[in-house]
Amino acid sequence: MGVLKITKHNFEKEVLHSDKPVLLDFWASWCGPCKMVAPIIDEVAEETKEVVKVGKINIDEEGELAEAFRIMSIPTLVVVKDGKVVESSVGVKPKKAILSLITEE
């Protein structure tokens, strides 16, 4: 499936009504640390596609979503399960730390 581009138009369907947990990456094109974490997010998406959905939210294009999640700095990773935020993490993290966000129950 790869990484989905999440917008306010598909957020409800892809995130709130997802049948599996969703890892959201809040990012922006001008953000250096976001560019550092992007390939890791892509790897995580590929490796966990059976159990987790991965989406990216560009905060410049989707200000309403960034505001709804109270995003203060990027990159911010948020895990949504059954329509509720269950985990979040700010800043660049190694792959192992990102995987632990989505595998801890």
Is 58 assigned a catalytic role? Answer: no
Catalytic residue among 22, 34, 45, 78: 34
Q: Among residues 3, 22, 23, 31, which one is catalytic?
A: 31
Burial (Cβ within 10 Å: 0-12, 13-18, ≥19) of residue 42: middle
31 among known catalytic residues: yes
Runs of H (alpha helix) within 22-70 = 32-47, 63-68
- First-to-last alpha carbon distance for the chain, in angstroms, is 23
Q: How far is CA 26 from CA 23, 52, 66, 105, in A?
A: 10, 17, 7, 22
Question: Bridge partners of 4?
Answer: 55
Catalytic positions are: 31, 34
